[in-house]
C-alpha cells in the first residue's frame, strides 16, 4: 500500500484575502504536482472560499482550521463542517492553540472529530502533551487519553482513513518551543500506532497516517520525513513563506525518491 506523504500548511489567523491570494499564486509557480505527495493548505475560514476558487485542485487540497460540531442551527457566529464539506477535504482538530486558548476539552474534540467524519471531511487530529507533562514523564498517558477519547465514536474503518499529528506543545513556535528530535518523534509515532492497534486493529493502525508538527522548517523537514512511520508534517510559521514551504515539499519529494531508489535496488 503506497501512502501519499502529507504536507499541511497551517496559516492560522494570518494573511488578508489579498495576501492569501498572493501566496497561492507563488505556491502555484513553485510547487509541482507529485503523485506521491499531498499538499494541503489551511487558511482561516474567511479565506477558504476565495482560495478554493483559485487553487489548482490537482495540486493542492484545503483544510479547515476549525468548525463547530453541530451541523446547523442557532449557533451565532459559528460555521459547521456541513457548510464546509464541499470546500475542504480535511479539518485540523485538537490543535493545542484551540485546547489552550479556547478551552477545547476532550469531549469537544471528540464531537468535532465525529462531525468531520459524519460530513465526509478527514480529521487531522493533533495530539500532544504540554511541556510540564513532558517533564513529568506523562507524555504516553496524555497521548493515550487524547486518542481514546477523540476516536471513541468512530469505527475501525473510519479511524483507518484519518490523520493523527504528534504535535507536543513544547515544540510549537507559538509556545516558544524547541523542535522535537527525530528519535522523540519516532517513539511517539510508534506509540500512537500501537494505541490505535490496541483500540481497533492492525489494519486501522497501518492505514492511518501519522504526522509530526512543531517548529518544522525547510532545514528540519527531511529528518522528520525520514523517521520510519512518520508520513508527513504539519507546518505552522514556515508555511506562510512560499519559498520555505516549497522547500519542505521538496524535502518530501527527495525523501520519496531515495526510498523508491533503495526499493528498486533491493529488488535487483
Ligand atoms: C502548528 O501550530 O500547527 C505548528 C506546527 O506551528 P509551528 O510550525 O509554527 O511551530
- Under the banding of pLDDT at 50, 70 and 90, the label for residue 261 is confident
For every residue of the chain, DSSP letters joined together read -PPPEEEEEE-TT---HHHHHHHHHHHHHH----TTEEEEEE--HHHHHHHHHHS-TTTEEEEES--BSSSSSS-TT--BHHHHTTT-SEEEES-HHHHHHS---HHHHHHHHHHHHHTT-EEEEEE---HHHHHTT-HHHHHHHHHHHHTTT--HHHHHT-EEEE--GGG-GGGT--PPPHHHHHHHHHHHHHHHHHHS-HHHHHHSEEEEESS--TTTHHHHHTSTT--EEEESGGGGSHHHHHHHHHHHHHHHHHHHHHHHHHH-
The reply to whether ligand 1 has any atom less than 6 angstroms from the CB of 237 is yes
Name the average pLDDT for the chain. Answer: 96
Segment 243-263 shows an average pLDDT of 93
Q: Break the chain into its structural domains and give their ranges.
A: 5-267
Segment 4-30 shows an average pLDDT of 98
Cα of 214 from ligand 1 centre, angstroms:
5
Query: pLDDT tens-digit profile of 219-232?
Result: 999 999 999 999 99
Query: pLDDT tens-digit profile of 109-137?
Result: 999 999 999 999 999 999 999 999 999 99
Dihedral angle over CA of 106, 162, 236, 137, nearest 10: 50
pLDDT surpasses 70 at 18 = yes
Q: What is the third-level CATH fold of 5-267?
A: TIM Barrel (3.20.20)
In this structure, the residue with its CA closest to atom 7 of ligand 1 is: 236
Tell me what pLDDT residue 77 has: 97
Q: Residue 54 burial by CB count (10 A; 0-12/13-18/19+): exposed, middle or buried?
A: middle
pTM for this one?
0.96
- Report the nearest atom of ligand 1 relative to the CA of 216: 8
Tell me what pLDDT residue 1 has: 61
Tell me what pLDDT residue 263 has: 81
Task: Report in angstroms the alpha-carbon separations of 224 from 7, 32, 55, 157, 236.
Answer: 12, 22, 27, 27, 15
The reply to whether ligand 1 has any atom less than 6 angstroms from the CB of 213 is yes
Pocket test for ligand 1, best of 126, 167, 179, 218 (most atoms within 8 A of CB): 167
pLDDT surpasses 90 at 177 = no
Segment 146-173 shows an average pLDDT of 96
The reply to whether ligand 1 has any atom less than 6 angstroms from the CB of 248 is no
- Report the nearest atom of ligand 1 relative to the CA of 171: 10
In this structure, the residue with its CA closest to atom 3 of ligand 1 is: 236
Query: pLDDT tens-digit profile of 35-79?
Result: 999 999 999 999 999 999 999 999 999 999 999 999 999 999 999
Amino acid at each position: 500500500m503506497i501512502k501519499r506523504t502529507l504536507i499541511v500548511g497551517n496559516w492560522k489567523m494570518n494573511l488578508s484575502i489579498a495576501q492569501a491570494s498572493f501566496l497561492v499564486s507563488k505556491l502555484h509557480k513553485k510547487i509541482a504536482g507529485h503523485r506521491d505527495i499531498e499538499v494541503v493548505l489551511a487558511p482561516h475560514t474567511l479565506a477558504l472560499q476565495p482560495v478554493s476558487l483559485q487553487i489548482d485542485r490537482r495540486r493542492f487540497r484545503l483544510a479547515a482550521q476549525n468548525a463547530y460540531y453541530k451541523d446547523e442551527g442557532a449557533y451565532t457566529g459559528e460555521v459547521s463542517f456541513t457548510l464546509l464539506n464541499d470546500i475542504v477535504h480535511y479539518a485540523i482538530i485538537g490543535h493545542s492553540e484551540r485546547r489552550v486558548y479556547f478551552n477545547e476539552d476532550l469531549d469537544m474534540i471528540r464531537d468535532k472529530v465525529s462531525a468531520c467524519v459524519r460530513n465526509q471531511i478527514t480529521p487531522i487530529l493533533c495530539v500532544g502533551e504540554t511541556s510540564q507533562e513532558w517533564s513529568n514523564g506523562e507524555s504516553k498517558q496524555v497521548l493515550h487519553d487524547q486518542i481514546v477519547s477523540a476516536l471513541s465514536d468512530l469505527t475501525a474503518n473510519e479511524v483507518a482513513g484519518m490523520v493523527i499529528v504528534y504535535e507536543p506543545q513544547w515544540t510549537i513556535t507559538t509556545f516558544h518551543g524547541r523542535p522535537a528530535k527525530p528519535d522523540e518523534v519516532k517513539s511517539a509515532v510508534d506509540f500512537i500506532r500501537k494505541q490505535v492497534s490496541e483500540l481497533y486493529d492492525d489494519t486501522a493502525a497501518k492505514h492511518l497516517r501519522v504526522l509530526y508538527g512543531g517548529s518544522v522548517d525547510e532545514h528540519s523537514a527531511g529528518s522528520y520525513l525520514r523517521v520510519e512511520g512518520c508520513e508527513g508534517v504539519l507546518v505552522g510559521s514556515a508555511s506562510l513563506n512560499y519559498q520555505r514551504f516549497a522547500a519542505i515539499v521538496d524535502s518530501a519529494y527527495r525523501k520519496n525518491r531515495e526510498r523508491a531508489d533503495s526499493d528498486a535496488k533491493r529488488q535487483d
